[in-house]
Amino acid sequence: MNPRVLAVMRKEFREYRRNKFVIFTMAILPVIFLAIPVITVLALPANVPEAARKVAVGQSLLMFFLIPMILPTTVAAYAVIGEREQGTLEPVLTTPILDRELLLGKALAATVPAVALGWVMFAIFAVVVRLFAAQGVIDRVFRVEVFVADITLGPVFAVFAIWVALAISVRSTDVRVAQQLAGLTILPVIGLSALLSFGVIAPTLTAYLALAALVAAVDVLGWRIATRMFDRERLLTRYSRSD
């Protein structure tokens, strides 16, 4: 891997580890997001109608799409504007790092723990369902397309949310505004996840893979757009290159 991208990732991880807010968010939110679906599916009686079971499992799966999307948006929204506000951005920009490398390092640092946590929580959920849930629930969760959806769509949705948050961060003038806006702009992706989870979009393996490929392409585009929006002059002086 590019050493500068790696350096940014390592630094970001170190900062996360020493930031109580990030640790708290990373520790508590996934547990809550795991508890809700576990309680939901375990509470389902064996003789519940199929339609109700489908909705309950759909709600549960939605949570595992949300974990990697919600967790990193706060830190991604802070990533650039926060550094500017604490005066650490300018020294970084005086080094040979390219804009795209800096943003990629920050995006990966936000993505990796969130996706890993999302997968771990889904694995715990699957084990709990296998051991304790009614057979009808097990049959609905243990499907190839459900696992493929979690493994592929979770990361690409997360990366999309992170690029949106980073794009807001490079153009924002206030950390709090950036974080609030980032929270709002992932709503469409949450809506899409909900359509998938509840089976409104046909939940086939092909549909999941096609959607994952499409969102991955959008993610690459997002990287380019965020890099283009990264205007050193604007970040350092409040005037853009074109002024």
33 and 121 Cβ atoms separated by less than 8 Å: yes
Q: How far is the CB of 115 from other proteins (least distance, A)?
A: 23
Burial of 122 per CB tally in 10 Å (0-12, 13-18, 19+): buried
95 binds other proteins (CB under 8 A): yes
For residues 159 and 153, give the distance between their C-alpha atoms in angstroms, rounded to a whole number. Answer: 10
Q: Does 49 bind other proteins (CB under 8 A)?
A: no
- Subset of 199-228 contacting other proteins (CB under 8 A): none
By CB under 8 A, residue 89 contacts other proteins: yes
Q: Which stretch binds other proteins (CB under 8 A): 2-10, 62-70, 115-123, 125-133?
A: 2-10
* Interface stretch with other proteins, choices 85-93, 120-128, 155-163, 181-189 (CB under 8 A): 85-93
CA-only gyration radius of the chain, Å? 20
| The one among 45, 50, 51, 91 contacting other proteins by CB under 8 A | 91
Q: State the number of binding residues for other proteins (CB under 8 A).
A: 31
Phi first, then psi, for residue 6 (nearest 5°) are -65, -40
173 binds other proteins per the rule CB under 8 A:
no
The span of 4-12, 44-52, 68-76, 183-191 binding other proteins (CB under 8 A) equals 4-12
Rounded Cα distance, 127 and 197, in Å: 19
* Closest CB 153 distance from other proteins, rounded Å: 32
Q: Considering the rule CB under 8 A, would residue 86 count as an interface residue with other proteins?
A: yes
- Torsion angle of C-alpha atoms 33, 63, 189, 140, degrees rounded to 10: 170
Mention every residue, 6+ apart, whose C-beta is less than 8 A from residue 172.
77, 81, 178, 181
Q: Does 1 bind other proteins (CB under 8 A)?
A: no
Judge contact between 136 and 48, C-beta under 8 A: yes
- 61 φψ region: left (φ > 0), alpha (ψ -120 to 50), beta (else): alpha
Work out which of 96, 131, 135, 144 binds other proteins, going by CB under 8 A: 96
Structure letter (DSSP) for residue 200:
S
Token pair belonging to 216: 């991955």
Q: Draw the binding track, 109-148, toward other proteins (x: CB under 8 A; -: no contact).
A: ----------------------------------------
Residue with tokens 């080094």: 95
Q: Which stretch binds other proteins (CB under 8 A): 15-23, 57-65, 73-81, 196-204?
A: 15-23
The type of residue at 34 is L
Number of CB atoms found within 10 A of residue 203's CB: 19
Cβ proximity to other proteins: between 45 and 96 the closer is 96
Footprint on this chain of other proteins (rule: CB under 8 A): 3-4, 6-8, 10-11, 14-15, 18-19, 86-98, 232-233, 236-237, 239, 241, 243
